[in-house]
Amino acid sequence: MILTVTLNTALDITYRVRSLRPHASHRVSEVAERPGGKGLNVARVLAALGHEVTVTGFAGGHTGAVLRAMLAGAPGAPADALVPVSGATRRTVAVVDERTGDTTQLNEPGPQISPAEWAAFLGRYQELLPGASAVALCGSLPPGVPVGAYAGLVRAARSAGVPVLLDTSGEPLRRGVAARPDVIKPNTEELAELTGSHEPLRATQDARRRGAHAVVASLGADGLLAVTPEGHWRAAPPAPVHGNPTGAGDSAVAGLLSGLVERLPWPDRLARAAALSAATVRAPAAGEFDHAAYTELLGRVRVTGAAGAAQAGSGPSW
């Protein structure tokens, strides 16, 4: 079982409007709702790849109830190990402008987590770890969760001998990296914020020096850049992919995790991650991936680089 942790789950709402104009009133022509938050998106893709997945984190209020009902009804539904909280799960609203195709995002902050609720989560996490072949720690922290939360969750996974991937940003990422996660998957912006460098290779190497065993940076249209104890590689689709990038990073995480538990060599994991990511950009619905595009792209992703070329760190690898 692969475990994904989403401390700030969300009910993702998508609105289509003819044209978004600030200070005007808009009639929404189409409404879509789905369970969201990075770890739930990762779980959805892992389930579609045939993996057994358990999701944990927090859910509460009427939005949490809707999220859990939708999760239970989804194809290949992941096991629901979410911890109930008294606050309401946040909503995110994505407003799609039909004229330009662009999206405007409104993200609620999330429920206040009490110390007792945080303790309940830690208990649940410790129960779940022994059954996990890998764990992904994903996304932002809701109010009330300590900023060093991911560092503790990384250490607990490592103590349990479970490979751990961290995908977050800002101070939670900075602290989490120092706890030596097996993989981090920052995007260009997150990587620059962590390291102060806007040069991807330099920043990726610096992120390893800060504690991550492997760093897989998602560089948007330029694909993935991986610096690992086994070597460093770039993986990119044969041509730039056009579409909606929402969820592309989460699909890349699913690709990396599934490749990890299947013990694929790094180049194959990266090809899968890059193909899934591109197939997500191509799918019409945000955060879904186009299965036919994935199969087709998988054989055409170019992976370049070399084993043994990593210039920093030499920790244990998996």
Catalytic residues: 250
Least spacing, CB of residue 305 vs its own copies, in Å? 32
Q: How far apart are CA 202 and CA 291, in angstroms?
A: 34
Is residue 29 at the binding interface for its own copies, with CB under 8 A as the rule?
yes
Cβ contact 180:152 at 8 Å: no
Least spacing, CB of residue 88 vs its own copies, in Å? 9
Give the count of alpha carbons within 13 A of 308, CB side only.
Answer: 0
For the record, the structure tokens of 26 come out as 């808009």
- Find tokens 């890059």 and name the residue: 274
Is residue 80 at the binding interface for its own copies, with CB under 8 A as the rule?
no
| Number of neighbouring beta carbons within 10 Å of residue 239 | 10
Is residue 23 at the binding interface for its own copies, with CB under 8 A as the rule?
yes
Q: Which residue number, 26 or 158, has a Cβ lying nearer to its own copies?
A: 26
Which of 79, 103, 201, 243 touches its own copies by CB under 8 A? Answer: 103
Which of 72, 106, 292, 309 touches its own copies by CB under 8 A? Answer: 106
Q: Which residue number, 61 or 152, has a Cβ lying nearer to its own copies?
A: 61
Least spacing, CB of residue 95 vs its own copies, in Å? 7
Is residue 21 at the binding interface for its own copies, with CB under 8 A as the rule?
yes
CA 91 to chain centre: 18
Q: How far apart are CA 17 and CA 124, in angstroms?
A: 41
* Interface characters, 195-224, with its own copies (x: CB under 8 A): ------------------------------
CB proximity list for 45: less than 8 A, separation 6 or greater: 250, 251, 254, 255, 276, 280, 289
Instruction: Specify the 3-state DSSP secondary structure of 203.
Output: helix
Window of 58-66, 117-125, 257-265, 271-279 that interacts with its own copies by CB under 8 A: 58-66
Which of 50, 73, 75, 100 touches its own copies by CB under 8 A? Answer: 100
Cβ contact 287:250 at 8 Å: yes
Which of 108, 171, 193, 268 touches its own copies by CB under 8 A? Answer: 108
| Sheet architecture: strand order including 302-307 | 79-85, 53-60, 2-6, 134-138, 164-167, 183-184, 214-218, 224-228, 231-236, 302-307
| # residues near its own copies by CB under 8 A | 30
Is residue 105 at the binding interface for its own copies, with CB under 8 A as the rule?
yes
Is residue 52 at the binding interface for its own copies, with CB under 8 A as the rule?
no
Which of 1, 52, 81, 97 touches its own copies by CB under 8 A? Answer: 97
Check residue 220 and report its DSSP letter.
G
Is residue 66 at the binding interface for its own copies, with CB under 8 A as the rule?
yes
CA distances from 65 to 106, 234, 241, 284 (A): 21, 41, 36, 27
Q: Which residue number, 172 or 267, has a Cβ lying nearer to its own copies?
A: 172
Is residue 99 at the binding interface for its own copies, with CB under 8 A as the rule?
no
Is residue 104 at the binding interface for its own copies, with CB under 8 A as the rule?
yes
Chain residues binding its own copies by CB under 8 A are: 13, 15, 17, 20-29, 31, 62, 65-66, 91, 93, 95, 97, 100, 102-109
